Amino acid sequence: MSTLSERILNDAQGLPEGAPLTAKTLLHLGSRTAVDQALSRLARRGRLLRAGRGLYVRPVEARYGQRAPSADKVVEAIARQRGESIASSGAAAANALGLSPQVPMRAVYLTSGPSRQLRLGAQVVELKHAPHWQFVLANRPAGEAIRALGWAGPERADEALQVIKRRLSASERKALVAARAQLPSWMADRISTLNTDG
């Protein structure tokens, strides 16, 4: 019969890249204490990466050895598993829309859950708690525009809106205008000025 560690690794092999492993998700294999100890041993041996307290991920076999899973994939999997909303940070959204030439140096995501850090090999990923309006239209270009406007703030919102107007399609501009009621007053006022025509 295989050992608990081997059974955990077999379960992990069937998961997509970045899927989190926790003792709670592995209780079908053994007691909580035994699973915790096995996960810790596997991390010490380099078979799993300890991403955070009680949270492990499987390293990815790459051409030149192992690498940490993609931060995006880990964050997406955690969001699904824990039922959190997670989106790119305002700085990343601003860069993607051309409002800022600066590429964020650290991987920062906004979350509806608690703030925390994950460690994926040498990379530290920061999850920052954010207000609900930051997740309006989260997975659409219009949602990216909302987070970019939040990053720009009221002082630079008019300038940012000029860029956003050029970058968003007519349908995304309409979605942005339609979402005004869920946004802070200063942002809703500025978005009201957007021309939603093609």
Q: Which amino acid is at 161?
A: L
Q: How many CB atoms sit inside 10 A of residue 61's CB?
A: 8
The CATH number covering residue 56 comes to 1.10.10.10
40 and 88 in one domain?
no
Rg, Å, the chain Cα set: 21
Report if residue 128 sits inside a domain.
Answer: yes
Q: How many domains are contained in the chain?
A: 2
**Ordered mean pLDDT values, 10 residues apiece, the chain (198 residues):** 83 90 91 93 93 92 87 92 92 88 82 94 93 92 94 92 91 94 94 70
Enumerate the β-bridge partners of residue 87: 110
Q: Are residues 62 and 90 in the same domain?
A: no
pLDDT of amino acid 108:
93
Q: What is the reported pLDDT for 195?
A: 66
User: Domain range holding 14?
Assistant: 4-67
In a domain, 198, yes or no: no
DSSP structure class, residue 196: -
CA atoms of 58 and 65, how far apart (whole Å): 13
Give, in order, the Cα–Cα distances in Å from 192 to each of 107, 186, 188: 32, 10, 6
Long-range contacts of residues 15-18, Cβ cutoff 8 Å, at least 24 apart: 15/58, 16/73, 16/77, 17/58, 17/60, 17/69, 17/70, 17/73, 18/57, 18/69, 18/70, 18/72, 18/73, 18/74, 18/75, 18/76, 18/77
Asked whether residue 196 is domain-assigned, the answer is no
State whether residue 115 is helix, strand or coil: coil
The pTM score is 0.82
Please tell me the predicted confidence (pLDDT) of residue 173: 92
User: 11 and 109, same structural domain?
Assistant: no
- Angstrom CA distances, 183 to 31, 52, 142, 177, stand at 46, 32, 12, 10
Compute φ and ψ for 173, nearest 5 degrees.
-65, -40
According to the model, what pLDDT value does residue 196 have?
55
Q: Are residues 27 and 92 located together in one domain of the fold?
A: no
Q: Are 118 and 56 in contact (CB under 8 A)?
A: no
Are 134 and 150 in contact by the 8 Å Cβ rule? The answer is yes
